[in-house]
Amino acid sequence: MNEQPTTAKPAKTLRKTPLGIRRRHVLVGAGAAAGGLAITRALGLHHLGDLPTIALPGQTQSPAPTGVDWVSPLDKPEAQVAHLLRRATFGATPSEYEQSVKDGFKKTVDRLIETPIAEPPPLAGADDATQEKPIRPQELISWWLDWMLRSPTPFGERMTFFWHGHFTSDFRKVNLQTPYIYWQNLTWRRMALGNFYGMLYQVTIDPGMLRYLDLGTSTGRAPNENYSRELMELFTMGVGTFTEDDVRNGAKALAGWREPLTQAMYDAQVKRAMEQGRQVPKNLKVDDVKTGVFEQQRAYVGGVKFLGLVKQWDTKGVLEQILAQDAVAPFIVTKILREFVTDQPSDAYVKRLADGFRKSRYDVKSLMRDVFMSPEFLAPASYRALVKSPTELMVHMARALETPALAKAIGVAGQGMGQLLFDPPEVGGWPSNASWISSNNVLERVNFAQVTLTGMPKIPPFKDAHVTHLDGVVSPATAQLLNSSPDDATRWLILLASPEFQLK
Amino acid sequence: MKELGGTNGLSRRDFLRNGLVFGVGAQALASGYAAVPDVFARAVLSAKSAQVQNDKVLVMIQLGGGNDGLQTVIPIGSSQYRDFRPQLSAAAAKAQPINKDIGLHENLKGIKKLYDEGKVAIVQGVGYPKPSFSHFDSIRVWETADPDRRQQDGWLGAAIAKNYDSLGHPLVGCACGTTSVPGMLRDLQATLTVVDDAKTFGFQGGQNVENVMGTLYKSTPGIYGALFDTAMTTARDTVAQLRTSAAKYTPKGNYSDKVNLVYSSKNQLAAALQLAAELIVTGTGVKVLHVTLGGFDTHYTELNRHDSLMNYLDAAISAFQDDLSGYGMADRVMIATWSEFGRRPKENASGGTDHGTASPVFLIGDGVKGGVYGETPNLAKLDQGGNLSYSVDFRAVYQEILTSHLAVDAKELLGQSFDRVPFVKTQA
């Protein structure tokens, strides 16, 4: 492209507008790769350098930079707070935003991290789920979404959501005729900011996980490798950091767990046996725990070599041996940074936080504090560097519009955007960032905004929503449309459907 | 307006389409775009003059999770098979024999019928050197056609980018029944569309909202800007295409999504293939389609689950073939199945199988030269890990598809040549 736009003269209406969005708030997307550089600089815009691409399993490569970036407002306290709330929570309501701006960045980080995570109200009937009375998927999904919308500790929900994608399970394989997947959600929330070692142990013996990755049916005699592999590849160390022998021997070392039987499941089995005139199996008994049950007779007896060490293993020993590997801290830190800071964290950044994570003996709370307090978190390059997942997007919309009754609608719409909660597309959890962008998904995202606004009996006044939610940094196209919108409903549609609002 | 002329033909077109949105806004946009040409949205896309070389279409069916080849093309003559699989080998007695060594799974009745008609090629033992046992790693290998894991672009995305003009014609490459771009089609130089459900693929609020969105997603800055803008343009182009094609199409096959899969009801293969057929028979210019059937990661109680998956796969493919034949287009379209790996010959304690290596690939269509290719897996000669050795490199299958079906340069895409697996009929 040799043609060079002579000036990036904004349209007249940009100067004085109904919303007062002035030129300095607006990023004028001027200039092509070469010719635009000068203009980019002249306007104080940031030029993107070449970004390295990294290949992580199941991830889309980074998009090509287009030459012009958003003007980062992250030197301003109110924008710092808004940036934090977009990433550490599911977006703020206007009053949460005001309170946090008053508190400032540091105090808001403290409050988010240090407030003990609030538990959702129980889901009626879920503890007693059986074949006859299964949990209904839409009720489970709405139950969680409702808590994302209402929880007084939204950072805890955000972390629960992160772990739900990391230590993933789906309701189809785990099945809703047990309380397992419901319990898993409660467990993930309770452990969300705990110690990573303790977390791994709870994950390993979680009844939903025992079923999802088949450790609950594995035995020392004919081990099932599913959990052993994914424990290392997806949960802790990453692909290429262990051998196939480690997978096989890890499977032996971990074997012996089974799922627990609840009173309701026991009663249902007894009832079925009686109705069918069968004997109730002699060894059938209620387990008074919400974790797996270890049966020594199904375990592997004998020493095996696992990650370089030969011994007779137990589950805790396996997890300790994994955490002794250098690969764990950078793997977890990279995943967290790609979710909370940038799709392309530098090696030095990863290493610094990984060192801290190891030093803290894998304390997740202190890791998250390091993440939010790192200079990189507020660096211009991190501004709008992440794409909201469908759940984050829709919950943020509902919170922006202060309409908390949207849980059911969000649950249904998530499927069309590729994110039905409790039902990730694969064992690797949810896609991230660029992978969320497709023709299907932009259409569905825009449609959700439109349908939500159309269905609202009363639309809240727009006021300066573009400042609260978009820091006043919008593209010329967005500014133009906001300025020429005839009413608040249209302004809300433009804001919620805009590319800016898809980003965090 | 005059600045638009020489800078970017596309911006003129898009501008004309979008410029009439708001009374006052249109005027403002006109001056805005005069100064700011629409270079970002399509900066990564270069229009090319390449034309469609032939009228062939490729439909890739992904069997997600790692399909158990030994339960699909069953080694009925092998005693080792029974030794390795005390439970799963129950399938052997019910298999539909193809020759004395192998038989198709009992539920692949429609595919067996097509096989008998000479329309199915089974390539045995397809894999690659130093196989990965990771789902994601091995999927990436198959998607990028690169066992060294250096490539980022999908082999079909690259094929589209190099050979077809997809700019403004997003249906050249289309993923049906999913929400995101499958890795095989991924390429920043190609325009691709994704349609989860054709019936709901449209803008709520109608043309007015659609026009506004077209205007809103313009010259979006930042690292995702081009992706967002392209996705929106593609969505709009797709909406327009689907509107025309839906009116011209009535299925001539019996598609049903009512098959009771043991656990996953998120598989809508039949619906996805029906959409594929609609796009093919209504002349949208579609060349490459991708659909997925998941649930093949059968680590436990495999017998029931794999049975139902085979049933569903067979029903969907049969309906698709009937549909195409009804429209007289079965000679233009080839189905190719793929899966990241096969499974371990020895079954585990859960009545399932763990991740393995080589497995068969199916090619189906009137243009296929039916038969069995490659070598029947040798269960007496497993590798150190107890896995099968491959006999055909998966890229040899890709090569034949590219060269003999789509008639494009395979070597340019694969970087090297492989021994031919001649499963495509030579043109008379």
Is A63 near chain B, with CB under 8 Å?
yes
- Contact yes or no for B3 and A32 at CB 8 A: no
Answer with the residue of higher pLDDT: A497 or B7: A497
Which residues of chain A does B209 touch, with a Cβ-Cβ cutoff of 8 Å? 446, 450, 493
- Contact yes or no for B226 and A477 at CB 8 A: no
Among partner residues A434, A476, A494, which is closest to B219 by beta-carbon distance?
A: A476
- Contact yes or no for B224 and A437 at CB 8 A: yes
- Contact yes or no for A440 and B203 at CB 8 A: no
CB pairs under 8 A between A and B: 284
- Contact yes or no for A53 and B212 at CB 8 A: no
- Residue A462 neighbours by CB under 8 Å, 6+ apart: A488, A491, A492, A495
The answer for B 271-310 residues in CB contact with A (under 8 A) is 294, 297, 299-300
- Per cent of chain A over pLDDT 90 is 82
Among partner residues B21, B226, B349, which is closest to A218 by beta-carbon distance?
A: B349
- Contact yes or no for B263 and A175 at CB 8 A: yes
pLDDT at B26: 29
Per-residue pLDDT tens over the stretch B317-353:
999 999 999 999 999 999 999 999 999 999 998 999 9
Nearest-neighbour CA in chain B from A442: distance (Å): 6
The mean pLDDT of chain B is 85
- Residue A208 neighbours by CB under 8 Å, 6+ apart: A169, A174, A180, A181, A183, A184
pLDDT of residue A19 exceeding 70, the answer is no
A64, closest residue in chain B (CA to CA): B223
Which residues of chain B does A438 touch, with a Cβ-Cβ cutoff of 8 Å? 179-181, 193-194, 231
Which of A168, A254, A438 is most worth mutating to test chain B (most B CB atoms within 10 A of its CB)? A438
Per-residue pLDDT tens over the stretch B399-422:
999 999 999 999 999 999 999 999
- Contact yes or no for B178 and A217 at CB 8 A: no
Per-residue pLDDT tens over the stretch B123-157:
999 999 999 999 999 999 999 999 988 888 999 99
The answer for A 203-222 residues in CB contact with B (under 8 A) is 213-214, 217-219, 221-222
Which residues of chain B does A498 touch, with a Cβ-Cβ cutoff of 8 Å? 216
Answer with the residue of higher pLDDT: B165 or A347: A347
Per-residue pLDDT tens over the stretch A264-292:
999 999 999 999 999 988 889 999 899 99
- Contact yes or no for A433 and B224 at CB 8 A: yes
Best CA proximity match to A81, nearest among A39, A111, A45, A51: A111
- Per cent of chain A over pLDDT 70 is 87
pLDDT of residue B8 exceeding 70, the answer is no
pLDDT of residue B88 exceeding 50, the answer is yes
B40, closest residue in chain A (CA to CA): A66
**What band does B267 get if pLDDT is binned at 50, 70 and 90?**
low
Calculate the dihedral angle through the C-alpha atoms of B157, B161, B162, B167, rounding to the nearest 10 degrees: 150
pLDDT of residue A131 exceeding 80, the answer is yes
pLDDT at B149: 85
**What band does A387 get if pLDDT is binned at 50, 70 and 90?**
very high
Is B139 near chain A, with CB under 8 Å?
yes
| Extents of the domains making up chain A | 76-114, 120-323
Identify the structural domains of chain B with CATH numbers, from first to last: 4-35 (no CATH), 57-205+225-414 (3.40.720)
The answer for B 69-128 residues in CB contact with A (under 8 A) is none
Contact A188, A144 (CB under 8 A): no
The answer for A 443-502 residues in CB contact with B (under 8 A) is 443-444, 446-447, 450-451, 454, 475-478, 480-481, 483-485, 493-494, 497-499, 502
Listed ranges A357-366, B32-41, B260-269; the one with the highest mean pLDDT: A357-366
Nearest-neighbour CA in chain A from B191: distance (Å): 10
Per-residue pLDDT tens over the stretch A197-229:
999 999 999 999 999 999 999 999 999 999 999
Is B167 near chain A, with CB under 8 Å?
no
Question: Interhelix angle for A154-166 vs A180-191, to 10°?
Answer: 120
Q: What is the pTM of this model?
A: 0.85
Per-residue pLDDT tens over the stretch A47-88:
222 222 223 333 333 444 446 889 999 999 999 999 999 999
What residues pair up with A387 in beta bridges, in sequence order? Answer: A503
The answer for B 200-219 residues in CB contact with A (under 8 A) is 200-205, 209, 212-213, 215-219
Best CA proximity match to B175, nearest among B234, B135, B247: B234
Nearest-neighbour CA in chain A from B408: distance (Å): 26
Per-residue pLDDT tens over the stretch A436-494:
999 999 999 999 999 999 999 999 999 999 999 999 999 999 999 999 999 999 999 99
The predicted complex's ipTM stands at: 0.86
Is B182 near chain A, with CB under 8 Å?
no
